[in-house]
Structure 1
Amino acid sequence: MPDPIPFPSRPQGDGSRRTDLGRRVTVRREALGLSRQELAERSGTAPTYIDYLEDRESAPGIGVMLRIADALQTTVPDLTGGTVDRPQGRGSALRDAGLRELGEDECRALLSPGGVGRVALIASDGPSVVPVNYLVADDEIVYRTASDTVPAAAAEATEVAFEVDHIDDAFSQGWSVLVVGEARRITDPDTIRELEPKARGLAWAGGERPLWLAISPRRITGRRIVNSLGTPLGGQARTLHAENGNPGESP
Protein backbone atom coordinates (compact mmCIF):
# COMPACT_ATOMS: atom_id res chain seq x y z
CA MET A 1 0.00 0.00 0.00
CA PRO A 2 1.36 3.48 -0.79
CA ASP A 3 2.26 5.84 2.01
CA PRO A 4 -0.82 7.55 3.44
CA ILE A 5 -1.51 10.99 2.04
CA PRO A 6 -1.38 13.45 4.95
CA PHE A 7 -3.62 16.36 5.73
CA PRO A 8 -2.75 19.12 3.24
CA SER A 9 -0.58 21.84 4.73
CA ARG A 10 -2.09 24.54 2.52
CA PRO A 11 -5.83 24.42 1.86
CA GLN A 12 -6.95 24.75 -1.74
CA GLY A 13 -9.55 27.54 -1.90
CA ASP A 14 -10.74 29.33 1.19
CA GLY A 15 -11.43 26.10 3.12
CA SER A 16 -14.59 27.63 4.55
CA ARG A 17 -17.32 25.54 2.97
CA ARG A 18 -18.22 22.03 1.95
CA THR A 19 -18.11 21.25 -1.77
CA ASP A 20 -20.18 19.06 -4.07
CA LEU A 21 -17.23 16.65 -4.17
CA GLY A 22 -17.24 16.39 -0.39
CA ARG A 23 -20.97 15.73 -0.34
CA ARG A 24 -20.72 13.01 -3.00
CA VAL A 25 -17.86 11.30 -1.17
CA THR A 26 -19.89 11.36 2.06
CA VAL A 27 -23.04 9.97 0.44
CA ARG A 28 -21.16 7.17 -1.32
CA ARG A 29 -19.14 6.29 1.79
CA GLU A 30 -22.25 6.11 3.96
CA ALA A 31 -24.07 4.06 1.30
CA LEU A 32 -21.27 1.48 1.59
CA GLY A 33 -21.43 1.58 5.38
CA LEU A 34 -17.86 2.84 5.74
CA SER A 35 -16.48 5.14 8.40
CA ARG A 36 -14.03 7.87 7.47
CA GLN A 37 -11.28 5.82 9.11
CA GLU A 38 -12.14 2.80 6.95
CA LEU A 39 -12.19 4.89 3.79
CA ALA A 40 -8.79 6.31 4.68
CA GLU A 41 -7.37 2.81 5.16
CA ARG A 42 -8.82 1.57 1.88
CA SER A 43 -7.55 4.55 -0.11
CA GLY A 44 -4.15 4.90 1.54
CA THR A 45 -4.87 8.37 2.91
CA ALA A 46 -4.78 9.81 6.40
CA PRO A 47 -8.12 10.02 8.27
CA THR A 48 -7.60 13.77 8.64
CA TYR A 49 -7.39 14.02 4.86
CA ILE A 50 -10.81 12.38 4.48
CA ASP A 51 -12.15 14.77 7.13
CA TYR A 52 -10.79 17.68 5.14
CA LEU A 53 -12.04 16.36 1.81
CA GLU A 54 -15.59 15.84 3.05
CA ASP A 55 -15.93 18.99 5.16
CA ARG A 56 -13.85 21.67 3.47
CA GLU A 57 -13.15 23.11 0.05
CA SER A 58 -10.29 21.16 -1.54
CA ALA A 59 -8.78 20.21 -4.91
CA PRO A 60 -7.24 16.72 -4.66
CA GLY A 61 -5.02 15.46 -7.47
CA ILE A 62 -6.12 12.81 -9.93
CA GLY A 63 -4.00 10.14 -8.25
CA VAL A 64 -5.75 10.64 -4.93
CA MET A 65 -9.15 10.78 -6.61
CA LEU A 66 -8.52 7.48 -8.40
CA ARG A 67 -7.64 5.79 -5.11
CA ILE A 68 -10.67 7.22 -3.31
CA ALA A 69 -12.99 6.31 -6.19
CA ASP A 70 -11.61 2.76 -6.20
CA ALA A 71 -12.09 2.48 -2.44
CA LEU A 72 -15.69 3.68 -2.85
CA GLN A 73 -16.34 1.27 -5.75
CA THR A 74 -17.24 4.10 -8.10
CA THR A 75 -15.59 6.38 -10.67
CA VAL A 76 -13.94 9.79 -10.54
CA PRO A 77 -16.57 11.33 -12.89
CA ASP A 78 -19.34 10.11 -10.57
CA LEU A 79 -17.64 11.72 -7.56
CA THR A 80 -16.89 14.99 -9.33
CA GLY A 81 -20.32 15.35 -10.93
CA GLY A 82 -19.12 14.68 -14.45
CA THR A 83 -22.01 12.27 -15.03
CA VAL A 84 -24.77 14.37 -13.47
CA ASP A 85 -26.34 15.23 -16.85
CA ARG A 86 -26.03 11.74 -18.29
CA PRO A 87 -28.51 8.88 -17.87
CA GLN A 88 -27.41 6.03 -15.65
CA GLY A 89 -26.69 2.58 -17.03
CA ARG A 90 -23.88 3.37 -19.46
CA GLY A 91 -21.63 0.55 -18.24
CA SER A 92 -21.10 -2.62 -20.25
CA ALA A 93 -23.17 -5.67 -19.31
CA LEU A 94 -21.24 -8.37 -17.50
CA ARG A 95 -20.99 -11.80 -19.08
CA ASP A 96 -22.54 -13.80 -16.24
CA ALA A 97 -25.36 -11.38 -15.42
CA GLY A 98 -29.00 -12.38 -15.09
CA LEU A 99 -32.24 -11.30 -13.44
CA ARG A 100 -33.70 -12.58 -10.17
CA GLU A 101 -37.25 -11.90 -9.09
CA LEU A 102 -37.49 -10.29 -5.65
CA GLY A 103 -39.91 -11.40 -2.97
CA GLU A 104 -42.30 -8.93 -1.39
CA ASP A 105 -40.25 -8.71 1.82
CA GLU A 106 -37.11 -7.86 -0.19
CA CYS A 107 -39.03 -5.24 -2.14
CA ARG A 108 -40.38 -3.62 1.02
CA ALA A 109 -36.88 -3.54 2.52
CA LEU A 110 -35.58 -1.69 -0.55
CA LEU A 111 -38.49 0.76 -0.43
CA SER A 112 -38.32 1.41 3.30
CA PRO A 113 -35.49 4.02 3.48
CA GLY A 114 -37.47 6.41 1.28
CA GLY A 115 -35.87 8.68 -1.29
CA VAL A 116 -36.82 9.35 -4.91
CA GLY A 117 -39.39 7.28 -6.79
CA ARG A 118 -41.63 7.76 -9.82
CA VAL A 119 -45.41 8.05 -9.86
CA ALA A 120 -46.96 6.70 -13.07
CA LEU A 121 -50.58 7.23 -14.09
CA ILE A 122 -52.88 8.04 -16.98
CA ALA A 123 -53.39 11.80 -16.68
CA SER A 124 -55.82 13.99 -18.63
CA ASP A 125 -53.29 14.45 -21.43
CA GLY A 126 -52.07 10.84 -21.52
CA PRO A 127 -49.55 8.63 -19.69
CA SER A 128 -47.27 10.49 -17.27
CA VAL A 129 -44.32 9.48 -15.08
CA VAL A 130 -43.11 12.04 -12.54
CA PRO A 131 -40.33 11.76 -9.91
CA VAL A 132 -41.21 12.56 -6.31
CA ASN A 133 -39.47 12.26 -2.97
CA TYR A 134 -41.30 9.77 -0.81
CA LEU A 135 -41.34 8.04 2.54
CA VAL A 136 -42.95 4.85 3.81
CA ALA A 137 -45.52 5.14 6.61
CA ASP A 138 -47.78 2.31 7.81
CA ASP A 139 -46.83 0.21 4.76
CA GLU A 140 -47.99 2.94 2.37
CA ILE A 141 -45.99 5.07 -0.07
CA VAL A 142 -46.43 8.68 1.04
CA TYR A 143 -45.48 11.88 -0.78
CA ARG A 144 -46.61 15.48 -0.91
CA THR A 145 -47.25 17.74 -3.86
CA ALA A 146 -49.18 20.80 -5.06
CA SER A 147 -52.83 20.54 -6.02
CA ASP A 148 -52.29 21.33 -9.72
CA THR A 149 -49.62 18.72 -10.44
CA VAL A 150 -49.58 15.32 -12.13
CA PRO A 151 -48.77 13.53 -8.83
CA ALA A 152 -51.89 15.12 -7.32
CA ALA A 153 -54.01 13.59 -10.10
CA ALA A 154 -53.09 10.15 -8.75
CA ALA A 155 -55.87 10.54 -6.18
CA GLU A 156 -58.43 10.62 -9.01
CA ALA A 157 -57.03 7.61 -10.88
CA THR A 158 -58.45 4.13 -10.43
CA GLU A 159 -54.95 2.67 -10.30
CA VAL A 160 -51.42 4.08 -10.19
CA ALA A 161 -47.91 2.68 -10.31
CA PHE A 162 -44.90 3.71 -8.27
CA GLU A 163 -41.35 2.69 -9.20
CA VAL A 164 -38.04 2.89 -7.35
CA ASP A 165 -34.69 1.71 -8.65
CA HIS A 166 -30.96 1.92 -8.15
CA ILE A 167 -28.29 1.57 -10.84
CA ASP A 168 -24.64 1.05 -9.99
CA ASP A 169 -22.59 1.90 -13.09
CA ALA A 170 -19.35 0.80 -11.43
CA PHE A 171 -20.57 -2.82 -11.29
CA SER A 172 -23.20 -2.75 -14.08
CA GLN A 173 -25.76 -3.91 -11.56
CA GLY A 174 -28.99 -2.65 -10.08
CA TRP A 175 -32.49 -3.38 -8.88
CA SER A 176 -36.01 -2.07 -9.38
CA VAL A 177 -39.24 -2.29 -7.38
CA LEU A 178 -42.72 -1.67 -8.78
CA VAL A 179 -45.75 -0.91 -6.62
CA VAL A 180 -49.25 -0.95 -8.10
CA GLY A 181 -52.16 0.31 -6.04
CA GLU A 182 -54.67 3.02 -5.31
CA ALA A 183 -53.80 6.57 -4.24
CA ARG A 184 -55.75 8.70 -1.80
CA ARG A 185 -55.45 12.13 -0.28
CA ILE A 186 -54.44 12.36 3.36
CA THR A 187 -56.72 14.85 5.07
CA ASP A 188 -56.58 13.86 8.75
CA PRO A 189 -54.79 16.71 10.59
CA ASP A 190 -53.23 14.38 13.18
CA THR A 191 -51.76 12.15 10.48
CA ILE A 192 -50.34 15.15 8.64
CA ARG A 193 -48.78 16.46 11.87
CA GLU A 194 -47.07 13.08 12.31
CA LEU A 195 -45.76 13.15 8.74
CA GLU A 196 -44.45 16.72 8.76
CA PRO A 197 -41.38 16.03 10.97
CA LYS A 198 -40.41 13.17 8.66
CA ALA A 199 -40.35 15.46 5.62
CA ARG A 200 -36.88 16.15 4.25
CA GLY A 201 -37.13 19.92 3.99
CA LEU A 202 -38.38 21.81 0.96
CA ALA A 203 -39.03 20.25 -2.43
CA TRP A 204 -35.94 20.11 -4.62
CA ALA A 205 -37.91 21.91 -7.31
CA GLY A 206 -38.99 24.64 -4.88
CA GLY A 207 -42.48 25.85 -4.10
CA GLU A 208 -45.11 24.77 -1.61
CA ARG A 209 -46.35 21.17 -1.44
CA PRO A 210 -49.34 21.25 0.95
CA LEU A 211 -51.14 18.17 -0.43
CA TRP A 212 -50.26 14.76 1.05
CA LEU A 213 -51.04 11.53 -0.81
CA ALA A 214 -50.65 7.86 0.08
CA ILE A 215 -50.47 4.86 -2.24
CA SER A 216 -51.81 1.62 -0.77
CA PRO A 217 -50.03 -1.29 -2.48
CA ARG A 218 -52.09 -4.01 -4.11
CA ARG A 219 -49.10 -5.64 -5.76
CA ILE A 220 -45.35 -5.28 -5.15
CA THR A 221 -42.80 -6.86 -7.47
CA GLY A 222 -39.11 -6.37 -8.08
CA ARG A 223 -36.04 -7.58 -9.93
CA ARG A 224 -32.32 -7.52 -9.29
CA ILE A 225 -29.36 -8.09 -11.60
CA VAL A 226 -27.35 -11.04 -10.28
CA ASN A 227 -24.51 -13.29 -11.41
CA SER A 228 -24.77 -16.93 -12.48
CA LEU A 229 -24.83 -18.01 -8.82
CA GLY A 230 -27.86 -15.84 -8.13
CA THR A 231 -26.03 -13.33 -5.93
CA PRO A 232 -25.69 -9.56 -6.49
CA LEU A 233 -22.75 -8.62 -8.67
CA GLY A 234 -19.82 -7.01 -6.87
CA GLY A 235 -21.11 -8.07 -3.47
CA GLN A 236 -24.23 -6.98 -1.62
CA ALA A 237 -26.02 -4.23 -3.56
CA ARG A 238 -26.51 -1.05 -1.60
CA THR A 239 -28.99 1.75 -2.00
CA LEU A 240 -27.93 5.32 -2.82
CA HIS A 241 -30.40 8.21 -1.72
CA ALA A 242 -31.64 11.40 -3.33
CA GLU A 243 -28.18 12.60 -4.09
CA ASN A 244 -28.17 10.28 -7.10
CA GLY A 245 -31.87 10.63 -7.76
CA ASN A 246 -33.87 12.93 -9.95
CA PRO A 247 -34.85 16.37 -8.64
CA GLY A 248 -38.40 15.43 -7.81
CA GLU A 249 -40.83 16.82 -5.30
CA SER A 250 -39.97 16.42 -1.66
CA PRO A 251 -42.12 15.09 1.17
Structure 2
Amino acid sequence: MDNETAGTRLPDMVDIPRNIRTRREQLGLTRADVCARAGLPLKWLVELEAGDAPLSRAALGGLAVALETSVTALMSGTFGTQRTIRDNPSVPDVRSLIRMSENECRARLATHEVGRLAGGMEHVPWVLPVNYMSDGRDIVFTTRPGSPLAHVRGTVAFEVDDVDRYARLGWSVLVIGVAEPVTDPVEIARLKEAGRDAWPARHGELWFRIHPGRVTGRRLRPRPSRR
Protein backbone atom coordinates (compact mmCIF):
# COMPACT_ATOMS: atom_id res chain seq x y z
CA MET A 1 0.00 0.00 0.00
CA ASP A 2 1.35 3.46 -0.85
CA ASN A 3 0.38 7.06 -0.18
CA GLU A 4 -2.30 7.08 -2.84
CA THR A 5 -4.09 3.92 -1.80
CA ALA A 6 -4.49 4.57 1.89
CA GLY A 7 -7.89 3.22 2.73
CA THR A 8 -7.62 -0.51 2.11
CA ARG A 9 -6.13 -1.27 5.52
CA LEU A 10 -7.08 -0.05 8.98
CA PRO A 11 -4.29 1.84 10.81
CA ASP A 12 -2.94 0.78 14.20
CA MET A 13 -3.56 3.76 16.48
CA VAL A 14 -1.18 2.44 19.15
CA ASP A 15 2.01 2.79 17.10
CA ILE A 16 1.22 5.33 14.39
CA PRO A 17 1.36 8.51 16.55
CA ARG A 18 4.84 7.51 17.74
CA ASN A 19 5.93 6.71 14.19
CA ILE A 20 4.69 10.09 12.93
CA ARG A 21 6.62 11.91 15.64
CA THR A 22 9.77 9.84 14.95
CA ARG A 23 9.66 10.56 11.23
CA ARG A 24 9.01 14.26 11.79
CA GLU A 25 12.00 14.56 14.11
CA GLN A 26 14.10 12.52 11.68
CA LEU A 27 13.45 15.16 9.02
CA GLY A 28 14.07 18.00 11.45
CA LEU A 29 10.55 19.34 10.99
CA THR A 30 8.42 21.11 13.55
CA ARG A 31 4.74 20.29 13.90
CA ALA A 32 3.99 23.61 12.26
CA ASP A 33 6.16 22.62 9.28
CA VAL A 34 4.22 19.38 8.81
CA CYS A 35 0.86 21.12 9.13
CA ALA A 36 1.86 23.74 6.57
CA ARG A 37 2.84 21.00 4.13
CA ALA A 38 -0.26 18.89 4.63
CA GLY A 39 -2.79 21.69 5.13
CA LEU A 40 -3.74 20.36 8.58
CA PRO A 41 -4.52 22.25 11.82
CA LEU A 42 -1.64 22.40 14.30
CA LYS A 43 -3.86 21.60 17.30
CA TRP A 44 -4.95 18.36 15.62
CA LEU A 45 -1.37 17.19 14.99
CA VAL A 46 -0.36 17.98 18.57
CA GLU A 47 -3.26 15.88 19.84
CA LEU A 48 -2.53 13.15 17.30
CA GLU A 49 1.09 12.71 18.39
CA ALA A 50 -0.16 12.49 21.98
CA GLY A 51 -2.55 9.74 20.92
CA ASP A 52 -5.64 11.81 21.64
CA ALA A 53 -6.91 12.62 18.13
CA PRO A 54 -8.62 10.37 15.57
CA LEU A 55 -6.78 9.49 12.37
CA SER A 56 -8.66 8.52 9.24
CA ARG A 57 -7.25 6.55 6.32
CA ALA A 58 -7.31 9.66 4.15
CA ALA A 59 -5.41 11.78 6.70
CA LEU A 60 -2.77 9.06 7.02
CA GLY A 61 -2.06 9.36 3.30
CA GLY A 62 -1.71 13.14 3.58
CA LEU A 63 0.71 12.86 6.51
CA ALA A 64 2.80 10.32 4.63
CA VAL A 65 3.24 12.79 1.79
CA ALA A 66 4.10 15.65 4.16
CA LEU A 67 6.67 13.46 5.92
CA GLU A 68 8.20 12.27 2.64
CA THR A 69 7.52 8.64 3.38
CA SER A 70 4.92 5.96 2.74
CA VAL A 71 1.80 4.87 4.57
CA THR A 72 3.40 1.46 5.04
CA ALA A 73 6.39 3.03 6.82
CA LEU A 74 4.16 5.13 9.09
CA MET A 75 2.26 2.00 10.05
CA SER A 76 5.34 -0.15 10.62
CA GLY A 77 7.82 2.41 11.91
CA THR A 78 10.52 1.36 9.42
CA PHE A 79 12.31 4.48 8.21
CA GLY A 80 15.27 3.34 6.18
CA THR A 81 16.58 4.83 2.97
CA GLN A 82 13.48 5.96 1.16
CA ARG A 83 12.86 7.80 -2.03
CA THR A 84 11.25 11.12 -1.21
CA ILE A 85 9.37 13.67 -3.20
CA ARG A 86 12.54 15.78 -3.38
CA ASP A 87 14.17 12.88 -5.23
CA ASN A 88 11.35 12.82 -7.75
CA PRO A 89 10.86 16.31 -9.17
CA SER A 90 8.46 14.97 -11.77
CA VAL A 91 5.73 14.64 -9.13
CA PRO A 92 3.25 17.45 -9.89
CA ASP A 93 2.43 19.89 -7.11
CA VAL A 94 -1.29 19.56 -7.66
CA ARG A 95 -4.15 17.53 -6.29
CA SER A 96 -6.14 15.54 -8.78
CA LEU A 97 -8.91 12.97 -8.91
CA ILE A 98 -7.61 9.52 -9.80
CA ARG A 99 -9.81 6.82 -11.26
CA MET A 100 -9.56 3.63 -9.22
CA SER A 101 -9.47 0.14 -10.64
CA GLU A 102 -12.36 -2.20 -9.89
CA ASN A 103 -10.13 -4.19 -7.53
CA GLU A 104 -9.24 -1.07 -5.56
CA CYS A 105 -12.91 -0.07 -5.42
CA ARG A 106 -13.84 -3.47 -4.03
CA ALA A 107 -11.03 -3.32 -1.47
CA ARG A 108 -12.38 -0.02 -0.19
CA LEU A 109 -15.95 -1.32 -0.10
CA ALA A 110 -14.72 -4.09 2.19
CA THR A 111 -13.50 -1.54 4.77
CA HIS A 112 -16.94 -0.03 5.41
CA GLU A 113 -20.35 -1.20 6.64
CA VAL A 114 -22.70 1.66 5.75
CA GLY A 115 -23.51 2.91 2.26
CA ARG A 116 -26.29 4.72 0.40
CA LEU A 117 -28.74 2.99 -1.88
CA ALA A 118 -30.55 5.00 -4.58
CA GLY A 119 -33.43 4.02 -6.83
CA GLY A 120 -36.84 5.05 -8.08
CA MET A 121 -35.40 7.20 -10.82
CA GLU A 122 -38.33 6.51 -13.12
CA HIS A 123 -40.79 7.77 -10.50
CA VAL A 124 -39.75 9.57 -7.29
CA PRO A 125 -36.01 9.38 -6.63
CA TRP A 126 -34.89 8.22 -3.20
CA VAL A 127 -31.59 7.68 -1.40
CA LEU A 128 -31.42 5.73 1.87
CA PRO A 129 -28.56 4.54 4.11
CA VAL A 130 -28.13 0.78 4.52
CA ASN A 131 -25.88 -1.54 6.46
CA TYR A 132 -24.11 -3.81 4.01
CA MET A 133 -21.35 -6.32 3.52
CA SER A 134 -19.53 -7.78 0.55
CA ASP A 135 -20.37 -11.35 -0.42
CA GLY A 136 -18.03 -12.42 -3.18
CA ARG A 137 -18.58 -9.91 -5.96
CA ASP A 138 -22.05 -8.97 -4.68
CA ILE A 139 -23.29 -6.49 -2.10
CA VAL A 140 -25.85 -7.72 0.44
CA PHE A 141 -27.96 -5.66 2.83
CA THR A 142 -30.94 -6.05 5.12
CA THR A 143 -34.05 -4.02 5.83
CA ARG A 144 -37.18 -4.43 7.91
CA PRO A 145 -40.62 -5.32 6.55
CA GLY A 146 -42.56 -2.17 5.79
CA SER A 147 -39.42 -0.19 4.99
CA PRO A 148 -39.29 1.70 1.67
CA LEU A 149 -36.51 -0.73 0.76
CA ALA A 150 -38.67 -3.81 1.33
CA HIS A 151 -39.91 -3.71 -2.26
CA VAL A 152 -36.71 -2.65 -4.00
CA ARG A 153 -36.14 -4.51 -7.26
CA GLY A 154 -34.24 -3.97 -10.46
CA THR A 155 -31.52 -1.44 -11.24
CA VAL A 156 -30.15 0.55 -8.30
CA ALA A 157 -27.13 2.69 -7.48
CA PHE A 158 -25.05 1.99 -4.37
CA GLU A 159 -22.46 4.47 -3.10
CA VAL A 160 -19.84 4.43 -0.34
CA ASP A 161 -17.30 7.14 0.45
CA ASP A 162 -14.74 8.23 2.99
CA VAL A 163 -13.85 11.92 3.31
CA ASP A 164 -11.45 13.60 5.73
CA ARG A 165 -12.24 17.29 5.96
CA TYR A 166 -8.99 18.13 7.78
CA ALA A 167 -6.68 16.48 5.26
CA ARG A 168 -9.02 17.39 2.38
CA LEU A 169 -8.65 13.85 1.06
CA GLY A 170 -11.11 11.09 0.30
CA TRP A 171 -12.56 8.60 -2.10
CA SER A 172 -15.92 7.48 -3.46
CA VAL A 173 -17.09 4.19 -4.97
CA LEU A 174 -20.26 3.80 -7.05
CA VAL A 175 -21.88 0.46 -7.87
CA ILE A 176 -24.60 0.19 -10.50
CA GLY A 177 -26.35 -3.17 -10.35
CA VAL A 178 -29.53 -5.17 -10.03
CA ALA A 179 -31.15 -5.70 -6.63
CA GLU A 180 -33.17 -8.80 -5.81
CA PRO A 181 -34.45 -10.40 -2.60
CA VAL A 182 -32.69 -13.36 -1.00
CA THR A 183 -35.33 -15.99 -0.15
CA ASP A 184 -33.41 -19.26 0.23
CA PRO A 185 -33.37 -20.10 3.99
CA VAL A 186 -29.98 -21.81 3.70
CA GLU A 187 -28.50 -18.77 1.98
CA ILE A 188 -30.04 -16.41 4.55
CA ALA A 189 -28.59 -18.48 7.40
CA ARG A 190 -25.15 -18.31 5.80
CA LEU A 191 -25.37 -14.54 5.36
CA LYS A 192 -26.55 -14.05 8.95
CA GLU A 193 -23.57 -15.99 10.21
CA ALA A 194 -21.18 -14.07 7.98
CA GLY A 195 -22.62 -10.71 9.03
CA ARG A 196 -23.25 -11.28 12.71
CA ASP A 197 -20.27 -9.11 13.67
CA ALA A 198 -21.11 -6.37 11.15
CA TRP A 199 -24.49 -5.31 12.53
CA PRO A 200 -27.10 -6.62 15.00
CA ALA A 201 -29.61 -9.14 13.69
CA ARG A 202 -33.26 -8.07 13.64
CA HIS A 203 -36.24 -10.37 13.84
CA GLY A 204 -37.97 -10.81 10.50
CA GLU A 205 -35.37 -8.82 8.58
CA LEU A 206 -35.38 -9.05 4.80
CA TRP A 207 -32.21 -9.79 2.88
CA PHE A 208 -31.31 -8.36 -0.51
CA ARG A 209 -28.46 -8.88 -2.91
CA ILE A 210 -27.05 -6.44 -5.46
CA HIS A 211 -25.41 -8.00 -8.51
CA PRO A 212 -22.98 -5.29 -9.72
CA GLY A 213 -22.93 -4.48 -13.39
CA ARG A 214 -20.47 -1.58 -13.10
CA VAL A 215 -18.11 -0.65 -10.26
CA THR A 216 -16.29 2.69 -10.50
CA GLY A 217 -14.56 5.01 -8.10
CA ARG A 218 -12.29 7.98 -7.71
CA ARG A 219 -9.86 9.13 -5.04
CA LEU A 220 -8.22 12.46 -4.43
CA ARG A 221 -4.44 12.29 -4.82
CA PRO A 222 -2.67 13.79 -1.77
CA ARG A 223 -0.89 17.10 -2.40
CA PRO A 224 2.89 16.53 -2.69
CA SER A 225 5.08 18.56 -0.37
CA ARG A 226 8.04 20.75 -1.24
CA ARG A 227 11.14 21.73 0.72
Shorter-chain TM band: 0.5 to 0.7
TM-score normalized by the length of structure 2: 0.59
Give aligned-pair identity as a percent.
35
Per chain length, whose mean CA-contact separation is higher, i.e. which structure has more relative contact order (CA < 8 Å, sep 6+)?
2
Q: Do the aligned partners of residues 171 and 114 (structure 1) sit closer, same or farther apart at CA in structure 2, a change above 3 Å counting?
A: closer
| 1:191 corresponds to which of 187, 190, 194 | 187
Pair 1:154 & 2:149 matched? no
| 2:12 corresponds to which of 10, 34, 38 | 34
1:129-188 Cα deviation digits (max 9, x unpaired): 001111000210000001222222322xx3100000010112101110100010010111
Aligned residue runs from structure 1 range 32-181, under 5 A:
33-39=11-17, 67-69=46-48, 96-122=94-120, 126-155=124-153, 158-181=154-177
Pair 1:223 & 2:202 matched? no
Give the CA deviation at 1:71: 6.4
Q: Do the aligned partners of residues 146 and 138 (structure 1) sit closer, same or farther apart at CA in structure 2, a change above 3 Å counting?
A: same
Instruction: Report how many residues are paired.
Output: 159
One-letter amino acid matched to 1:225: L
TM-score normalized by the length of structure 1: 0.54
Work out the CA distance in 1 between the residues paired with 2:192 and 2:134. 13
Q: Do the aligned partners of residues 218 and 41 (structure 1) sit closer, same or farther apart at CA in structure 2, a change above 3 Å counting?
A: closer
Unaligned runs of 5+ in 1: 1-30, 45-62, 80-94, 227-231, 236-251
**More helix per residue:** 2
- For 1:36, what is the secondary structure of its paired residue? coil
Work out the CA distance in 2 between the residues paired with 1:70 and 1:234. 21
Q: Contact 1:163 / 1:178 at 8 angstroms: preserved in 2?
A: yes
Unaligned runs of 5+ in 2: 1-8, 23-41, 56-92
